[in-house]
Amino acid sequence: MKRDFLTLQDISSDEFAAIIKRASELKSGKDAHACPLMGKSIGLLFDKTSTRTRISFQTGIYQLGAQPIYINSKELQLGRGETVEDTAKVISRYLHGIVIRTFAHSTIEKLASNSSIPIVNGLTDLHHPCQALADMLTIWEQKGTLKDVRLVYVGDGNNVANSLIEAALHTGVDLAIACPRGYEPDRNIFQNVKDNGGNVQLYIDPEEAVKDADVIYTDVWISMGQERETERRRQIFKKYQVNKELLSLAKPDAIVMHCLPAHREEEITSEVLDSPQSVVIDQAENRLHTQKAMLEMLIR
């Protein structure tokens, strides 16, 4: 039976742990010459521009022995009115899986419900599960554990924050999210995780949130599609900048994370982003390894 990976709730906690373990093995070079997906073809359907998602998936699919096929949605008949449903049914006959990076989460749900092959969420406005997998591998590498690690996310309660909330439920991470009123993560995701025992807290004051933090994480204040709100968002979020002063309130050995691209001197200063405490490049590399482990599990 085909499985999709639209959110982190599509896998169990045991599967989450298995992906992190397998990703670490792949990163170490174990099975470097194995090609478990030999003869498969996997589509990369992108509505949004990308650096890390496209390159990491395209490289990882190739390393697993499969053929990556990049698909710009504007070049499909979708751009001339063909429905998502018809497109999904047709390309299911050609491919063994699809990674999609798009805007509305409902689009990926519609694609999944009409496809006979696995659908992987490369990013939607609501979720970014592949990023959260890489984040958890990075924290595990740096701290040796995930259980009870205090992870503080500072900034906009966006798709990254939503997926970190779901990751907390799987891993036992102690997650704090500091954001302005009106910019909280998705209420349903937050409440579902809280109801199921996830250790997640919301804060308004970033200085209070980062006390004793093991990890400080941030993301851009202005995501794709929000450019008209740039100046207003800059004013609202200006006290949520991750800078030297905020970092000093965390534990001395705290690490700094950012899913990139970064808007330097907005949500994070160059001084912090380029500091020895920053692990953002390791974090970006880990997209490759965790996605390979996830695809290996998902596509048979």
Out of 4, 131, 142, 170, which one is annotated catalytic? Answer: 131
Out of 54, 96, 101, 170, which one is annotated catalytic? Answer: 101
Out of 96, 105, 130, 259, which one is annotated catalytic? Answer: 259
Confirm whether 233 is a catalytic residue.
no
Instruction: Tell me the one-letter amino acid at 22.
Output: R
Out of 10, 287, 289, 291, which one is annotated catalytic? Answer: 287
Instruction: Tell me the one-letter amino acid at 81.
Output: G
Strand positions, DSSP E, the chain = 41-46, 67-72, 97-101, 119-123, 150-154, 174-178, 200-203, 215-218, 255-258
Confirm whether 35 is a catalytic residue.
no
User: CA-to-CA distance for 222 and 195, rounded, in angstroms?
Assistant: 30
Out of 219, 241, 289, 291, which one is annotated catalytic? Answer: 219
CB 294 within 8 A of CB 133: yes
Look at the block and give the residue holding tokens 């070079």: 29
Out of 128, 150, 170, 258, which one is annotated catalytic? Answer: 128
| Helix (H/G/I), strand (E/B), else coil: 217 | strand
Identify how many contiguous H helices and E strands the chain contains and give both numbers: 12, 9
Look at the block and give the residue holding tokens 């749900």: 109
Confirm whether 179 is a catalytic residue.
no
In the sheet where 255-258 sits, what is the strand order?
A: 200-203, 174-178, 150-154, 215-218, 255-258
| Helix (H/G/I), strand (E/B), else coil: 210 | coil
CB 152 within 8 A of CB 176: yes
Confirm whether 287 is a catalytic residue.
yes
Residues identified as active-site? 101, 128, 131, 219, 259, 287
